[in-house]
Amino acid sequence: MPKPELLETFPNPYPGREYEIAMECPEFTSLCPLGGIESDADELRALRGGAPDFGTIFITYVPGDVCLELKSLKLYLWSFRDDGIFYERAVNRILDDLSQASKPRWMEVVGDFNIRGGIKSVIRARAGDGRRAVGDGGSKDRDT
């Protein structure tokens, strides 16, 4: 289960300047929520989801009053490892949680996932317009 309470921030050292922070997280893992391939479905039940999914998460944002602390971000992303979650939900959940924690002026999260079943998926979600801090992060109906 994703744990947004792990996220920490620190004061933006240049709050009056608009600048961009870009991070690449190449070790993102979660579980396919649909149970995986039938021939190994019994073994996959032990994973509480399906086969593992792997991808790279790209986070780009213009900070408001605070910046995201990197170690806490790493721990937060690791909290997805045992979660059965669709790519689309994972990327939007990450955007919502990071936006809620840091209130950036603008943020984009991209999930570039490894090929599964012969199909490559890249999911992109954005919040904010760059002129003011992102409010509550967006989605009101996300899983908790």
The pTM is what? Answer: 0.83
What are the residues whose beta carbons fall under 8 Å from the beta carbon of 142, sequence distance 6 or more? Answer: 89, 92, 93, 96
Quick one: what percent of the chain has pLDDT higher than 70?
A: 79
pLDDT at 144 over 50: no
Pick the residue with more confidence: 141 or 20? 20
pLDDT digits (tens, 9 = 90+) for 121-134: 999 999 987 666 66
pLDDT, mean over the chain:
86
> Catalytic residue among 25, 53, 83, 97, which?
53
DSSP per residue over 53-95, as a string?
EEEEEEEEEE-SSEEE-HHHHHHHHHTTTT-B--HHHHHHHHH
Angstrom distance (rounded) from CA 67 to CA 132:
15
pLDDT at 66 over 90: yes
CATH class in words for 19-33+50-137: alpha beta
Q: Domain boundaries in the chain?
A: 19-33+50-137
- Band of residue 135 on the pLDDT scale cut at 50, 70, 90: low
> Catalytic residue among 25, 32, 67, 112, which?
32
Q: Is 53 a catalytic residue?
A: yes
How much is the pLDDT for 46?
57
Average pLDDT over residues 41-70: 82
Quick one: what percent of the chain has pLDDT higher than 90?
A: 67
The CA dihedral of 129, 28, 31, 108, to the nearest 10 degrees, is: 10
Q: Is 25 a catalytic residue?
A: no
pLDDT digits (tens, 9 = 90+) for 28-43: 999 988 765 444 555 5
